[in-house]
Amino acid sequence: MSKPRVAIFDFACCEGCQLQIVNLEEEILDLINVVDVVEWREAMSEQSHEFDIAIIEGSITRPEDEKRIEIIRSRCKIMIALGACATIGGVNKMKNKFDLEEVKHCVYGKDAHMPHLETGLTKAVHEVVDVDYKIHGCPIDRKEFASIIRALLLGKRPTVPDYPVCVECKAKENICRYEYNQICLGPIIRAGCGARCPSNGFRCFGCRGYVDTPNVEAAREVMDKYGLTVEDLRQKMVLFGCEQGPTV
């Protein structure tokens, strides 16, 4: 069997998720043995139009990028959205909370009307084309990336947790961030990160997006316990969760 051809493309993002692939360190040498990386602009000069798996990093923010992602989709068999910008729009979606004309004016002043500064509403990749798999997080967890790719190469469907960060946080025996008077999004955000932020003393800010069916009642119980409301929780979704469904 020939090796699957993999191409990595980046759109509006910080390219930090690609960096996590590099950060696999020695493990990347094993991956290179079982796949054929045909295009990866950040790391390689090689380029190709023929690939089986396209890995997409970044959000779609311009009409020309919508065209580019449609072309990539037409060329690949499997499309993977890599990281929060691609899976849920990431921080780029904060822009959608403002009037776009005003946003352009704020950054570009009197030249906001220049055609090449045209920006649309930020979209996650699946809002433009079909996406087969999502690798969540800002940035992605490199171990999760490796396990998902491994599953795909074995012809298996990768399993991505559909339970909240609180589950992993409790397993780590962390003291709840609410005990420190912080509003943590752990109750409604998809696990898989190993509760990395709360384990380091920082509240979960929701970079992996909601679980498929957030347990609103459980979240309400936590809020009641600490004298807060679900609205307080929703207010904290603004960093990564703007206009991302389903909503609490």
Partner 1 sequence: MSTNININVHHVTRIEGHGNIVVNAKDGKIEKCEWQVPEAPRFFEAMVRGRSFQDIQTIVSRICGICSITHSLASTKAVEDALGIEVSEQSDKLRILMHYSEQLQSHTLHVGYLVAPDLFNAPSVVPLVPKAPDAVKTIIRAHRVANNWSDLIAGRTTHPVTLIPGGLTKIPTEQQLRDLKKELEATVKDLVAICEVVHSVAGNLPKFERPTEYVSLKQTTPPTYTFYHGDITSNDCNGDGPVNIRNWQKVANEYVSPQSTAKWCKWHRDAYLVGALARFNNNAELLSPLGKKVAEMFGLKKGNTNPFMNSIAQLAEAAHVVETSIQMIDDLLTRGLKPETVKVSPRAGRGSGCVEAPRGILFHTYEFDKYGNCVYGNVCIPTNQNHANIQKDFEKFVPEFMHLGQDALRQGMEMLVRAYDPCVSCSTHFLNVEFV
Stretch that binds partner 1, among 11-19, 127-135, 163-171, 213-221 (CB under 8 A): 11-19
Going by C-alpha positions, the residue among 4, 3, 19, 22 that lies closest to residue 57 is 19
Our measurement of the distance from residue 210's CA atom to the centroid of its chain's CA atoms, rounded to an integer in Å, reads 11
H or E segment and range at residue 143: helix 142-153
Instruction: Report 47-106 residues binding partner 1 (CB under 8 A).
Output: 47, 58, 61-62, 65, 90-92, 94-95, 98, 102-104, 106
What is the C-alpha to C-alpha distance for residues 72 and 75, in angstroms, rounded to an integer? 5
Interacting stretch for partner 1, rule CB under 8 A, among 111-119, 149-157, 167-175, 215-223?
111-119
Pairing of strands 78-82, 133-135: parallel
Which of 3, 30, 34, 42 contacts partner 1 by CB under 8 A? 42
Q: Taking the complex as a whole, how short is the minimal distance between the CB of residue 101 and partner 1, in angstroms?
A: 11
Give the phi and the psi of residue 117 in degrees, each rounded to 5: -95, 5
Point out which residues bind partner 1 (CB under 8 A): 11-20, 22-23, 25-26, 28-29, 32, 37, 40-47, 58, 61-62, 65, 90-92, 94-95, 98, 102-104, 106-111, 114, 116-117, 119, 138-139, 196-197, 200-202, 205, 239
